[in-house]
Structure 1
Amino acid sequence: MIILFTLISAIFLTAAYAQSFVTVSTTSGRLQGVEQDGVMSFKGVRFGQPPTGLLRWEPPLPFVSAATQNATVLSPSCVQQFAFATASFIESLFNNPPVPEDEDCLFLNVWAPSTSGSSQAALKPVVFWIYGGSLAFGTGSLLQYDGTSITSNQGIVVVTFNYRTNIFGFPGTPDLPIQANNLGFLDQELALKWVQLNIRQFGGDPEKITIMGQSAGAVSVSGLVVRHPVDPPFRAAILFSGATPDSAPSLTEFDSFNAFSTAVGCTQAPGLARLACLKAISTATIRAYTNGPLSGAFGAVIDNVTTFGDNLERIRAGNAARVPVLAGNMQNDGTLFTVGETNLTAFLDASGLGSFVSADLVRTLYPGQNDTDVIADADRDLVFLCPASLWTEAFVQSGISSVYRYEYGAVFPDLQVFPNAGAWHSTELPELFGTFNASTATPNEVTLSQTFQTAIANFVKNPNQSPAPNWPEYIPGNNTQTLARLAYNGNVDTGNFVQAVTSDSEDAPCAVWNAFLDF
């Protein structure tokens, strides 16, 4: 009898964890993915032609095929840049273990509820995830962004993808028309178009796409919102710790790209001849330079096509996608970027603000704090909190309903990986994706993952209603308590997860910082 019971148990467990293959037809071919425990996954799906050789630094071209494609393995990332004094520290946090890299990198991944027995009436909402990484690194192939948990627990479709970063995606070069410099944003647009064309085949609803990103990914989401004022290819937007105010510089000098060109031996005058020379340089040579001590930074430029210098005015005037928005920041977004900094005057000078505000004035914005904490909070406010305040206020002013603003304050012992970390930049993501370290997570962390994931999924499913109990629509100012403080003081259950406060209680320093953010 014991033998029989053991045999039956073994058969049951094998069935429960068995994988089967599933095929879906798309514009990229017949994709052979995997189905397991109610979730279909399709990995390494090519959506763009290889941006290599003559197609390096060119707008992405769609990949179209009728052939059968293996879609069971995550693709390499695009070529990464980890440079400057903090390179080793940042790579240890965001690329550990390292993901294989390749210039041929325009691939995406889809996780969807199994469609067996479903009908077209049961099409699911879709999350289109854009990763962060300062537009210098990052990939949709990180295990942290695995969509299995969200899909399984929440019954929605999750799409992650790669876009070109650093010099490959945002070269800042006079060799190209200004409108062709933000190639990474064009990659994002192409991936979103692929989702629009194909997601129904996975049981997803192309009319219910939410674009969602964190850090540079949230900046990317903000760009999509502003450049799609009419018939946006999404119905809602989520911005975790990132929005573009009106302070992005226009491109005038091209210093980083010109120095790179000279360093790799392409010394022609800027133009087609130099570009041809640079397209013949090996990927490895370029990566060695951009990850070396002489590299400059590469990022988005205002081209008035993908990126604008008057975002807030566009939103206020209704000249942006009029969709529900959920946006906010971490309580300690600044600690990651100010590790080891103790000199407030030096921090302000390095930020380009020393000529405009004094250290003594800044200290008055954060009373009772030492300079280390003032630096971290000032960085948070300048880069994350005040932009979130400006964006959500602009949407409210434009007449958009269903605006939700938050600040996330969960602190867990296993995430305190550097001094003064707190609820630091990006630590909400393993909780959102359910990819936290189960061997080190506390019970509260496990509970918060379920609570937070459900709240975000609620917004994805219906962005016109409150995503969690006690989370009201956002109204700026000091008269109503509508800014949701999430998971403060160990409150991780659905019933106490949200503590609503007035926005002015968090935004007071923005009275100074907004002068540099809202032109």
Structure 2
Amino acid sequence: MSFKGIRFGQPPTGLLRWAPPVSFVSDETHDTTVLSPSCIQQFAFATASLTEALFNNPPVAENEDCLFLNVWAPSPSSDTLKPVVFWIYGGSLAFGTASVPEYDGTSIASNQGIVVVSFNYRTNVFGFPGAPELPLDENNLGFLDQELALKWVQLNIQQFGGDPEQITIMGQSAGGFSVSGLVVRHPIDPPFRAAIIFSGASPDTIPSLTAFDAFDNFSTAVGCTQAPGPARLACLRAVSAADIRAYTNGPLSGSFEPLIDDVTTFDDNLERIRAGNAARVPLLAGNMQNDGTLFTVGETNLTAFLDTDGIGALVSAGLVRTLYPGENDTSVIADSFRDLVFLCPTSLWTEAFVQSGISTVFRYEYGAVFPDFQVFPNAGAWHSTELPELFGTFNASTATPDQVTLSETFQTAIANFIKNPNQTPAPNWPEYVPGGNTQTLARLAYNNNVDTQNFVQAVISDSQDTPCAVWNAFLDF
């Protein structure tokens, strides 16, 4: 059974543009047979064409009025309420939507007997404006949308056969980053019982005191030249969503990112976890073997790559090459990106969870490589290619038999965690214990191992983490 396009928030338009989401309550009948439009998306910068081709093809209809969610539930077979997974999509907090076919919950709901919820949240300048006119704790609107959607699930999911006491939050990339935020900001009575982070664990971050620059430049570009304040905000709320999208998808746009507000986002995540000041729930977290290739397509100059984020002033190209012996600079760049952004944060998070005694932890690295996913040079097991396998939405006309088998295997393992997060998700997948004296890192689907009995290979727990000795200096303060 599916219920699509359920409104959970009032339209964030007009005076509600750049305002916290407001619950939608109605006793009217609504059509729940069609997916809603996406929120307004941003595809900008040098990788825009590749990103849009991979994640918005064919393009999804967009609308500023976008706070809708979807529910997939197995056909009723008993009065027993089902576990629920609350899915948060990725997209760098710039793009993404619950309305793409890849995230259809039909397969996992029907095959695994769980309830699947997906939803839209605001991104880019609509969701993370960095606006000096707004209170600091009302700038991270996308995270507030996520909280409202989760509240809706708690209040309503029983009507769809879901158990509000058995909610697992699950996200990938920016969605995983969002799950990280939920875990850290709900240390007491969290509105979920488990968490899954696919390539998105959040390290400590440095708060930016100049984060208003992108919003100020945007304001000027769309004709609102007043000084920051109520008059400029009123002017900006009168600008059409189409004109705003034209700017944010153009060559002059900046990036719009979360601000450290000490409400939704913190700059000491790891210390909070180590102190036990985070949700005490089971955690499953990991990364892709080639998480960095998508983000470094065409990059061959290691020194220039390191200088992009100012890292080169502290770490030389020569030192970085020693972290990846035998690799050419193209591979070193991709693996450095993977480790700095995905692998090492996951290592820090899972270690902090274990050492704090917070709860059960399972850590993985996913290595499946299939021909129909090799859509750019040196792609490998690239960022997000586990998701068609998880949702069972891979292209059946191009998939290999191993791909079909792995989808069932991987989906079942993740569903096992959702159903009972304190037990091993799959044969040979041990509870994670960090360090070099145990073999508890689960390497998934390496070497064409795709069957339930062999798709997990437990290896030395810190065997992938050697480069983190350097990169953690930028992640753990």
TM-score scaled by length of structure 2: 0.99
CA–CA separation in structure 1 for the residues paired with 2:437 and 2:102:
39
For residue 351 of structure 1, report the CA deviation from its aligned partner: 2.3
Cα drift, residue 299 of structure 1: 1.1
The question of 1:513 aligning with 2:471 is answered: yes
Residue 69 (structure 2) pairs with residue 99 (structure 1): no
**Within 5 A, what are the aligned runs for 1:63-82?**
63-82=24-43
1:114-171 superposed Cα distances (whole Å, 9 cap, x missing partner): 22x622xx10000000000000000011110000000110000000000000000000
Which letter does structure 1 place at the counterpart of 2:203? Answer: P
Instruction: Show the 5 A alignment for 1:229-268.
Output: 229-268=187-226
Q: CA deviation at 1:253?
A: 4.2
Alignment-derived partner of residue 56 in structure 1: 17
Match of 2:75 in 1: 114
Counterpart Cα distance in 2 of 1:244 and 1:273: 36
- The residue number in structure 1 matching 2:301 is 343
Give the whole-Å Cα distance in 2 for the aligned partners of 1:505 and 1:179: 40
Deviation at 1:248, TM superposition (A): 4.3
The answer (yes or no) to whether the contact 1:406–1:485 under 8 Å persists in 2 is yes
Structure 1's 313 and 201: CA in aligned 2 closer, same or farther, altered over 3 A? same
Match 2:4 to one of 36, 43, 48: 43
Shift of 1:400: 2.5
Distance 1:45-1:248 versus aligned 2 partners, 3 A rule: farther
Indicate if the aligned counterparts of 1:172 and 1:251 stay in contact, CA closer than 8 A: no
RMSD between aligned alpha carbons?
A: 0.7
SS in structure 1 at match of 2:395: coil
Q: State the partner residue of 1:502.
A: 460
**More moved, 78-87 vs 250-259:** 250-259
Equivalence for 1:456: 414
Q: How far is the alpha carbon of 1:352 from its aligned partner?
A: 1.6
Is this contact kept in 2: 1:455–1:467, CA < 8 A?
Answer: yes
Letter matched to residue 52 of structure 1: T
Structure 1 residues 363 and 330: CA distance shift in structure 2, 3 A: same
Q: Distance in 2 between matches of 1:253 and 1:439?
A: 46
AA matched with 1:189: E
Distance, in Å, in 2 between the alignment partners of 1:400 and 1:295 is: 41
Letter paired with 1:411: V
Q: Which residue of 2 aligns with 1:383?
A: 341
For residues 435 and 369 of structure 2, what CA distance do their matches in structure 1 show? Answer: 27
AA of the residue aligned to 2:54: L
Q: Does 2:132 match 1:148?
A: no
After superposing the two structures, state which structure 1 stretch, 473-482 or 248-257, moved more: 248-257
User: Which position in structure 1 is the counterpart of 2:433?
Assistant: 475
Residue 165, structure 1, aligned to residue 123, structure 2: yes
- 2:7 alignment partner AA: R
Deviation string 1:470-492 (CA, Å, 9 cap, x unpaired) is 00000000000000000000000
8 Å contact kept, 1:401–1:473:
no
Does 2:48 correspond to 1:87? yes
Residue deviations 1:360-390 (CA, integer Å, cap 9, x gap): 0000000010000000000000000000000
Aligned length: 477
Q: Over residues 145-199 of structure 1, what are the superposed CA-to-partner deviations in whole Å (9 max), with x where a residue is unaligned?
A: 0000001100000000000000000001101111110000000000000000000
CA distance in 2 between counterparts of 1:251 and 1:283 reads: 27
Output the CA distance in 1 between the equivalents of 2:359 and 2:242.
49
1:112 maps to amino acid: A
Whether the 8 Å contact between 1:43 and 1:110 is mirrored in structure 2 is yes
Query: Does structure 2 conserve the Cα–Cα contact (< 8 Å) formed by 1:248 and 1:301?
Result: no
Unaligned runs of 5+ in 1: 1-39
For 1:374-413, list aligned pairs within 5 A.
374-413=332-371
SS in 2 for 1:505: coil
Q: Residue 466 of structure 1 corresponds to which residue in structure 2?
A: 424
Question: AA paired with 1:362?
Answer: V
SS across alignment from 1:70: coil
1:133 is aligned, of 68, 84, 91, to: 91
| Residue pair 1:243, 1:387 contacting (<8 A) in 2 also | yes
2:313 to 339, 352, 355: 355
Q: Report the alpha carbon displacement of residue 238 of structure 1 after superposing the two structures with TM.
A: 0.1
Q: How does 1:202-351 map to 2 (within 5 A)?
A: 202-351=160-309
Aligned-partner SS, 1:69: coil
Distance of 1:444 and 1:347 partners within structure 2 = 36
> Under a length normalisation based on structure 1, what TM-score does the superposition of the two structures give?
0.91
Give the residue type in structure 2 aligned to 1:176.
Answer: L
Identity percentage of aligned residues: 83
For residues 276 and 108 of structure 2, what CA distance do their matches in structure 1 show? 33
1:503 Cα offset (Å): 2.4
Give the direction of change, closer, same or farther, for the CA distance of 1:200–1:253 in structure 2 (3 Å limit): closer
